[in-house]
Each structure stands twice: as structure tokens, then as C-alpha cells.
Amino acid sequence: MQNKRVVIANSVGIDSRGYYIMHSPSRWSQGVKNAKDLFTYYPWELAYLSSLLKRDTEHHVKFIDGCLEKFNLEQYKERIALLEPNYIVMEPSTRTLEEDISLALWSKEKFGTKIVFCGQHATAYPEDLLSRGVDFACQGEYEFTVLDILLDKSLDSIRGLYPNQRRELLDVKLLPFPEDEDVRRIDYATPGEPNCEYLEIQMYASRGCPLMCLFCVAQNLYYGKSSHRIRRVESVVEEIKLLKNKYPEMEGVFFDEEMHNADKNFVMELTSAIKKAGLDNLKYNAMCGHWTLDREMLEAMKSAGYYKIRVGVETADPMGAIGMRIGPKNRLDKLEENLKIAREIGMKVYATFTIGGMGSSKDGDRKTGELIQRLVGEGLLTDIQVSINTPLPGSPYFERVKRMGYLLEQDWSKFDGGNFSVVSYPNYSKNEIEENFRYVLKCYDEGLKCQKEFSFKSKLSEDVNKFELSSMKKILFLRSNRMWQVELTADLLKEFSEKIEIDVIGQPQVENILKKLPCVKKIYLYEGGFFTLDNFKKQFDSRFDKKYDAVFIFYNNFRRVGYSEVEAIANSIQAEFVAGVFPDGSLKINHE
């Protein structure tokens, strides 16, 4: 067989409406406006495919990541044009389908490229994709299906290639380490993102999960059944060593698989091997199931360098738990028991929740907000993530809401769990779901305020005194992080002087909370998501000609990662100095 030029391409990084795209490893995607510094997850299954093809074929394989490079469609075309591929392999999500298919069809027209589409949307709509010009639609886990296509096997015999039968789940022990040549794995590591505190490389010690949550794309579409598989412990340790040797600056590992701890023996062996190899000086962070944790496992993890675990809780509402089929994830008694052990031994816990799923209700989701507020307030949860439960095509959740007439949208760009609800139930409308989403985030802020109030204000007070800032009279806040930090800072400044005047530039969705801040004189509403200097100038033009004693900006991480635009705005405003407020209440003063 003649050697081919094969491009493996992650999706476009910026869609036609200017949203920056983020694909979570659990395969839900969202777009974020004005997020030039947006973090990118390592597209792990494409990355495994890339290294597999490089190992097992003679083709010229090139891996490109449009999300990492922040390519829009036109920029992506320029990049592809340099390669003139014979094959392009993509894993389009429903959210980015239109841009991804435009790119692939353009390449087909220009260079006669054969298009191979894999992943969630290809599994759900193979016929549609084939009718639109895609040549091969792969269903389910796709690494070995694509390998067979590129080995020129008889198409009828390739399992996993539509319309043939699905393929058996692959043996993860047969895979090479994922792509680290055409992209550098360290380039996906960003302290502060996604809630990583260190420079952590994303890794996968296992694959799959024993549950089948109704909305889960990974389990329902990619694997199709209960599917937890573990790698060899020695191979995981070897990969960590290799990465650390290649990237001495690496500080840790984020095990970003579906469920790192489904098999207790595996965790006990892995943690022991990490210690034996002297790799316990790195920091580890892992996606776990909370119901299989126990003291022995948590202590073993802690002693091997794990500093944070992430667990899915989803809801506090028993009816929502039944509707979403989350099974033991709803064992809240077990959750609290393990959270108390984690707090006692100093293990941080990050939890994910979801609003508006099947079976949920307005009151039920408010209970979830209250649970979050209490657990965060008591320091049992360090951080959380909330999403709007989104029925991604192909999932049983999608089929059900469609059949029952609850699905509102067929505009795929709205299938975005960070922004919209695409369903409306008879007893729980789309607007109520979106309102509850904001309510739950507010509960999270209240919990954080309660958890951090004492330590944050003590540190801030110490630094206000240290930098002799108590005489400030006129201040501008740029609301660049969660409200708890802004609220506690305003409270503290008021304690220093009742006469202080604070103007705020903030987003419309928090306008009501901003109005309640002490000492606030004027609120400027900033439209369009993340702060950028261009957008700021467009919206406010010369309205910021007044002079402030200080501009305050609020950081969500200590290395100021992702804040270059906020800092540029702060520096463009006339002020004696810019004060950066960090998550622990410490201040950094800049007199530029």
C-alpha cells in the first residue's frame, strides 16, 4: 500500500460566532466568548490514535490541534493546505460540527482528501454525515477502526465502521503512549486550569466507568456498556517518568479519565509503585467516583502525592438521581463520610453537579444549590463545577427528551452546557433551568464566602496595612473572578473606611449582586463574557477618563495565568496603582 499523508485534526478553536471552543474529556463541549487565553484539554483519544498510526503504519501522520492553536476556520484551512492530506480524521462534537465539516469538505474539494469522522456525532448520525460527503463514519471507540481503514482492510470486515457491527472494547494495554511529537503535552498544562494548582500533564491510567448515567456520552456512545479497564501499573509509572524526564518543569499529573478509582487494588498498587519509583514528589489530581472511596484508599493516594480528587455528585434531588440514572453517585451519606475523611487528611475535593437533567425539578435543583453551599461552606468541598445537563445526540437522554417533546433546539451550537438549556419540561421550563443554574452558582459563591471569609479577610487586612492603602477613597473594581472574592474585598475595604467609593465594571448576570456591594457608587455593565482590551475600548470608549486611587483586579490563580487582558485593561485606566487580589486575600501592587 502506498504511504498516505494523514492529518489527525482536533476541531476548530474558534467558531463562526467568535466563541472559543473547549472540549471536555468526558465529551461535552462549550464555547466561551472573548477567551483568548482559554485553556485547552488534551484531545486524548485523537492523541492515542495518532501515536497508534505512527507505530503501526508507514503513513505520514500529522497531528494538529485547532483548539490549542486557536484556529478559526480560515486559519485552519491555511494550515491544512500546507499538508495536502490524503486523509483527514476528526472527532467533531455536535457543538462544532458545522465548522469541522466545512473544513473537511474544503480539504476534500481541494486535495481529494478522504474524510474520516469519529466520536460522538459520528456515532449518533453516521447516515447524515455520509450523505453530506464524509467518507467514513466510525462508531464508538475508534482507534483500531481507523487503523484498519488506513491499513486498507476490506471495508466490510472493519468493525466499528458504519454500517458494520460495533467493535469490542479495545484493550488499553495495547495502546502506545499518546501523541507527544507534533504537539507537546506540557503545552496543555496550565496552572489554574482546569482547576489544577500545578503544572500538571493530563494522563489516563484507565478507561471507562462501571455506570451508565443517562446523559453520559462516554459510556453510552463511545463504550456502549459498563467498561472500566486499567492499564499496567508499570506502564503508567514509566509514562510519568518519561514525561518528567522530557519536561523537567512538569509539577504533576492530572489523571483525567472517567474513573481512576473504580478498582481499589489498582489504586493501591499504583500509589505504592509511584512511591517506590520516587515519583511521590509530584502532585497528582484524579477523576474519581466518590462511592468507591474509603479511608485506606484516600490515605494511600495522599501518601503518594495526590492532592486533589474530583468526584461527580450531579444532584441532591432523589428524583433527579433516578431520572438521570446516576446510581451510587447519589449516595450522599457515603459522600459526606468520605468528604470528612478527605478534609481530615488534607485531600482537596472538587465536585461536579448538573442542573435541569431528566427527572429534575425547580425545587430539586435548588436543593442541589443548598447542598453545595453547605458542603463548600464547611470546607468539605474545595471547588465545584456546575453544568446545564445537555442531551447530546446519541445519548439515551437525547432520545428520551426528543420522544417526549421536551427538546427545544436543533441548532447544534446551542448544545452548550455552560450557557444554555435546550430542553423545557412541563413542570420545569428552560428559563427556570437557566435561572437555577445562576442560583446554584450563587450558592457556590455563598459557600466560598463562608469557607474563606476569616482567612481571606485576615490576609487582605494585613496587606492593606502593609501597603498603607487605608487612605484610598476612589476605587474601581474589575470583576474578573467569582463574586465571593469581590464581595469579601468590598466588605473589608468598608471596614477600613465608610467613605470609600467603589465603581465596578462587571457582567450583566451579576448586576443584582453588584448593586448590593457596600460602598458601590456606579456599576458599568460589560457585555460579551471575558474581559479583553479591544472589547473594553469598544464598549467604554473614553468614559474612563476619570482618575482612581486604585484599580482592583481579582485573580483565580496565583500565577496570574489567563489575566493578561484584564491587566491590560487595568493599566489603561488612570490610577495611582493596580491592586491584584489573590484567592487567599494577598495583594500585589503594581505602580506602572
Q: Footprint of ligand SF4 on this chain (CB under 6 A)?
A: 209, 211-213, 216, 218-219, 258, 312
For residue 278, give every residue at least 6 positions away whose Cβ sits within 8 Å of its Cβ, in sequence order, or none. Answer: none
Q: Looking at beta carbons only, is 35 or 311 nearer to ligand SF4?
A: 311
Q: Using an 8 Å Cβ cutoff, are 364 and 331 in contact?
A: no
CB of 211 to ligand SF4, least distance (A): 4
- The CB-of-394 to ligand SF4 minimum distance in angstroms stands at 14
Nearer to ligand SF4, 312 or 580 (CB): 312
User: Cβ closer to ligand SF4: 330 or 361?
Assistant: 330
* Secondary structure (DSSP) of 343-387: HHHT-EEEEEEEES-TT--HHHHHHHHHHHHHHHHTTS-SEEEEE
Beta pairing class for 252-255 and 200-203: parallel
3-state helix, strand, coil in the chain (%, to 5): 40, 20, 40
CB atoms within 10 A of CB 438: 15
Assess contact for 440 and 388: CB atoms under 8 A: no
Burial zone of 78 (CB within 10 Å; 0-12 exposed, 13-18 middle, 19+ buried)? exposed
CB of 274 to ligand SF4, least distance (A): 23
203 or 218, CB closer to ligand SF4? Answer: 218
Q: Residue 117's closest CA among 98, 131, 130?
A: 130
Shortest Å distance, C-beta 26 to ligand SF4: 6
Q: Based on CB atoms, which residue is closest to ligand SF4, 191 or 327?
A: 327
Based on CB atoms, which residue is closest to ligand SF4, 216 or 423?
216
Cβ of residue 209: shortest distance to ligand SF4, in angstroms? 3
CB of 357 to ligand SF4, least distance (A): 11
Cell numbers standing for residue 445: 459563591
Closer to ligand SF4 by CB, 198 or 215: give it: 215
Instruction: Kindly state the greatest CA–CA separation across the chain.
Output: 79
Residue 531 CA, chain-centre distance (Å), reads 19
Residue 414 CA to chain centroid, in angstroms? Answer: 17
> Which is closer to ligand SF4, CB of 387 or CB of 480?
387
Q: Smallest distance from the beta carbon of 208 to ligand SF4, in angstroms? A: 8
**Hey, what's the cell of 68?**
490549542
Torsion, Cα 402 407 410 412, to 10 degrees, reads -100
Nearer to ligand SF4, 180 or 256 (CB): 256
Smallest separation, CB 4 to ligand SF4 (Å): 35
From CA 11, how far away is CA 15, in angstroms rounded?
Answer: 10
Question: Which residue's CB is nearer to ligand SF4, number 357 or number 447?
Answer: 357
Closest distance of CB 11 from ligand SF4, Å: 21
What's the min distance (Å) between Cβ of 332 and ligand SF4?
A: 15
The residue type at 448: L
Nearer to ligand SF4, 123 or 219 (CB): 219
Residues 6+ apart with CB under 8 A from 329: 211, 213, 289, 290, 291, 312, 313, 314, 321
The C-alpha atoms of residue 590 and residue 577 are separated, in whole angstroms, by 6
Orientation of helix 73-81 relative to helix 97-111, angle to 10°: 30
* Least separation in angstroms between CB 219 and ligand SF4: 4
- Taking a C-beta distance cutoff of 8 angstroms, is the pair 63, 182 a contact? yes
